[in-house]
Chain A
Amino acid sequence: MSKIYSSFLLALAAAGTLRAQVIVIQNANILPVTKPGFKGSVVIENGKIKEMGEKVVVPAGAQVIEANGQYLMPGIIDCHSHIAADAINEGSVSVSSMVGIEDVLNPTDISIYRGLAGGVTSSNILHGSANAIGGKCTLIKMRWGKSASEMVFEGAKPSIKFALGENPKRRGSAGSGPLQGSAGNLRYPATRMGVEDVIRQAFNDAKIYQAKWQEYNAKTAKGEVAIPPRRDLKLEPLVEVLESKRFVHAHSYRADEILMLLRVADDYGFKIRTLQHVLEGYKVAKEIAAHGAGASTFSDWWAYKVEAFDAIPYNAAILTKKGVLTSINSDSADVTRRLNTEAAKAVKYGGLTETEALALITINPAKQLAVESRVGSIEVGKDADLVLYDKHPLSSYAVAQKVLVDGNVYFDRMKDIEERGKKELVKKQMIDRAKEQERLQQKKMGPPPAGARRPA
């Protein structure tokens, strides 16, 4: 039922996505994030921002969106999400670098639409945190109605999830709970010490594997006959990390484990691209900045477990002030719907400017994911991934009215509200049809024999 219904929603979405060649959004309060805000217009052509300014020439035949003073900001980028994925954790091994989210992307997940309705246009879909080295991540654009492969952010650099602290060590101790091991089925590591060892061991193996390929490639380059090494799908992504071809996004909480991972990376000669959650990042901001890692954190989550007890809502502000490229993420299908006000909390907690706060959910995550030439700000030449809010986006009262991805309107609040009646009607028709089919089926089969019991 729900599958059919969501297919129907998708069909509506696909039909509704107008591919107007030229769109002009006029009379908007434009918040480019990388430049001062101004009142004016944005011209979109072929999905890109072609022109912007206080006065623009509206090209003939352009579709005009009258903003009436509403606020236009870059589409929000959620640097940490688990929506649109049919599986999250490959929890059976401590190193699961062979698996990837792209293989389980679910483009029909309603969370995509809900996130979109909250202004999110790109979302970094990560593997879970059950393993010290998790699986490969996928950056998507929220192109609701498109196929899984069409949602993938084309050209984005590959990445992988690491995890430190309580979650990866859970399977090492017996207990109750979803990620806990059972007495007869414990798995190394059970401590933060073991987590470090697992990561080092994996990179030792990756270095040996890398050397074998280097040797093979050197031989073939010289025209010598050589047997290629056996391909290892677990070590391949780690070699890519060593060769700076794949980013590491590391789930982390405590200052000690953050420092540990930075030092491991230093030893093996690679960089941690982002520390995710990084709730005690404020304690080692200096070291994070020196390493060059980004930080992607929650606004104000705390106290849900021991390693989150020193979490403070000032984290994003301290990290920003100490020179760390910082973003605020959701890690939740719920919170991703209001990252604008999550960012606003950084104004309250630590006194970031409004532009700095907006950067936490736009240009900063874009830089962390190395897609800042495409998205994250309103600039000529960038993708037209935009959100139109009725009030300033950092206001509690702001509601997203229109959301564009690649210059296409993928969410329109007025249209959503208008179509509700139609959707209810279609839903009712589908239920009636299903009931009718069931009735006909029963008629054909005849009444159940006397004494027959309905299976429980």
Chain B
Amino acid sequence: MTRRILISMAACAATLVAQADKKAAAPAAAGADNSFFLRNVTVHPVTGPEVAGGAVLVKDGKIAEVGAKLVAPKGVKVVEGKGLHVWPGMINSATQLGLQEISSIRETVDTGEIGTFNPQLRPLIAVNPESEHLPVTRANGITSAMTMPASGGGGGSRSAGTSPLIPGHVSLMHLDGWTWEEMEIKRNAALMIQFPTIETRTFNFMEFTAGRTAFTEAKRFYDRRVKELNDYFDQARNYQKAKAVARPDFRIDLAFEAMLPVLDGKLPVIIPAPDERTIKGAIEFIEKQKLKGILANIGRPGTALELIKAKNIPVIIGESTDLPEQEDDAYDKNYARAADLHKAGIKFAFGTFDTQFARNLPFQAGIAAGYGLPPAEAVKAVTINAAEIWGIAGEYGSIEKGKWADLILTDGDLLEHKTSVKQMWIKGRAVSLENKHTKMYEKYLARP
């Protein structure tokens, strides 16, 4: 989304590959070993202080014990972690993983459906578990990801008609499984709303030309779109009332059905809001419709930061490494975004909003830490914060007793570019770190 303009027209590995458990190359199967004892490792629980020389006991896929003075129970497989660090598996809060293979080839892209209102769409059921992107992303320590609709692909090219207002749901999934059902964490994690923006600058992708629209005209269009969105919610509420009456001829409407948990405030809405005006508009909309809101990609928040804090709305940051939008913006404006949110007391998590760079999630957080975000907060923003925002913190996001053992073992700081992931477990099962890239590397390094 932040990268909707496709600019791209344009030793660990050896040891890493060697260490990948070949037997675990296939996705986790029933009866697979999901208990082990990881010892002599620096444990980074994220929600508590790190434990040097610690251990983690995993039983039946869940974390049973964490601490410094644990002894391996009899019969449990021991994993040696000397010199290594264990962290919760990272959660990428915004991707198109599994929905998009080669971004320029329409046939491999299922991110953008035709139509203005599509709340019934669920990305998870279109996720290709064989996508090369999943193991590639996994190899950098990301155990789960939100996959979501985006402009482009599927229903046509970028300029196919007006952009949608409700492009569908977003789905939270593990990056491993024989089928999408096995990958599922939350099929419907939130409803995505593409809130209108006042666009005085336009760009025609077909002709590759920039244009301008007068503000009054752009505003009029914006108002019309906001009304359209509110009208749709009103219709959904009418549907809800009609359904409650349940006359015999009542016809189920899949789109409105999908709206019901949102109307009840059980399911949040995620709204990308790239500037101050849109943020304010989106928050007004959230309040008016009494929704549970999450904002994303708040490029130019201006004074809206205070409002976001006041309303206690969490944010998914995807723009940390994007160029500042305007030439007179501070050069480090987006690098410092996460630090700004932290200072304002706003809860946030990172997402990459794409497929090819989904594996770079820890780097986005690391760079934000360079520009003022405390490193511990940066780690939270790729683990526990994401779990909290998506309502799965009881089961994921930190190394705590009782949570699922989504764990990664690294040879260094989680957010450093140089760090290698040595092992990964999802629900306590070892998952292969081998992928298309490591295979091609081995193959061609060995070319005589």
What residues make up the interface of A, taking CB atoms closer than 8 Å to B? 2, 5-6, 9, 110, 113-114, 117, 128-129, 167, 176-179, 277, 282-283, 285-286, 300-306, 308-310, 312-314, 317-318, 321, 331-334, 337-338, 341, 344-345, 347-352, 391, 394-399, 416, 420, 423, 427, 456
Contact = CB atoms under 8 A, between A and B. Distances in A.
A277 B205 CA distance: 24
A301 B8 CA distance: 9
Contacts of B437: 302, 312-314, 349
Nearest to B412: A348
A421 B413 CA distance: 36
Nearest to B133: A303
Given A303-B355, A321-B445, A349-B441, 5 more contacts: A2-B326, A341-B363, A341-B367, A349-B12, A351-B11
A416 B331 contact: yes
A349 to B, nearest CB: 6
Given A306-B105, A338-B321, A110 B327 contact: yes
B331 A114 contact: yes
A35 B322 CA distance: 35
B132 interface: yes
Closest 9 CB pairs of A and B: A351-B11, A396-B366, A178-B208, A344-B417, A314-B441, A397-B370, A110-B327, A305-B104, A312-B437
A128 B413 CA distance: 39
21 contacts: A6-B327, A117-B332, A178-B205, A179-B9, A283-B444, A286-B447, A303-B101, A303-B103, A303-B356, A304-B8, A304-B102, A306-B105, A308-B8, A314-B445, A337-B323, A394-B417, A395-B370, A395-B416, A396-B363, A396-B370, A423-B328
A350 B13 contact: yes
A277 B445 CA distance: 19
Contact of B206 (A5, A167, A176): A176
Given A113-B331, A178-B208, A333-B323, A347 B440 contact: no
Nearest to A347: B418
A283 B446 CA distance: 10
B444 A332 contact: no
Interface of B: 6-14, 101-105, 132-133, 157, 205-208, 214, 217, 321-324, 326-328, 330-332, 355-357, 359-360, 362-363, 366-367, 369-371, 375, 413, 415-420, 436-438, 440-441, 444-445, 447
A109 to B, nearest CB: 9
A345 B419 CA distance: 9
Given A2-B328, A305-B105, A351-B14, A312 B441 contact: yes
A350 B11 contact: yes
Contact of B445 (A113, A318, A333): A318
A309 B102 contact: yes
A416 B418 CA distance: 29
Contacts of B10: 129, 277, 301, 304, 331-332
B418 A344 contact: yes
Contact of A302 (B12, B326, B332, B356): B356
Nearest to B364: A396
A334 B7 contact: yes
B12 A348 contact: yes
Main secondary structure on B side of the interface with A: loop
Contact of A310 (B356, B375, B438, B440): B440
Nearest to A342: B417
A417 B323 CA distance: 18
Given A113-B331, A334-B321, A341-B367, A176 B157 contact: yes
Given A114-B331, A305-B104, A305-B105, A399 B370 contact: yes
Contacts of A345: 417
A344 B412 CA distance: 14
A199 to B, nearest CB: 20
Given A178-B205, A397-B375, A351 B327 contact: no
A398 B157 contact: no
A310 B322 CA distance: 26
Nearest to B440: A312
Contact of A456 (B217, B436, B447): B217
A399 B441 contact: no
A128 B9 CA distance: 9
A113 to B, nearest CB: 7
A332 B14 contact: no
A304 B6 contact: yes
Contact of B13 (A303, A349, A423): A349
B108 to A, nearest CB: 9
A124 to B, nearest CB: 14
A396 B214 contact: no
A177 B157 CA distance: 9
Contact of B420 (A286, A348, A427): A348
B102 A351 contact: no
A13 to B, nearest CB: 12
Given A305-B103, A318-B445, A351-B14, A420 B330 contact: yes
Contacts of A332: 7, 10
B444 A282 contact: yes
A282 B415 CA distance: 27
A235 B10 CA distance: 27
Contacts of B102: 303-306, 308-309
Contacts of B415: 396-397
A219 B236 CA distance: 89
B379 to A, nearest CB: 12
B358 to A, nearest CB: 10
Contacts of B8: 301, 304-305, 308, 331
A349 B328 CA distance: 36
B322 to A, nearest CB: 7
Contact of A2 (B217, B327, B375): B327
A304 B108 CA distance: 11
Contact of B328 (A5, A167, A176): A5
Contacts of B101: 303
A176 B104 CA distance: 12
A334 B9 CA distance: 14
Contacts of B321: 334, 338
A314 B375 CA distance: 28
A179 B205 CA distance: 11
Nearest to A341: B417
A300 B103 contact: no
A123 to B, nearest CB: 15
A308 B436 CA distance: 13
Contacts of B13: 314, 317, 348-351
Contacts of A286: 447
Contacts of A351: 11-14
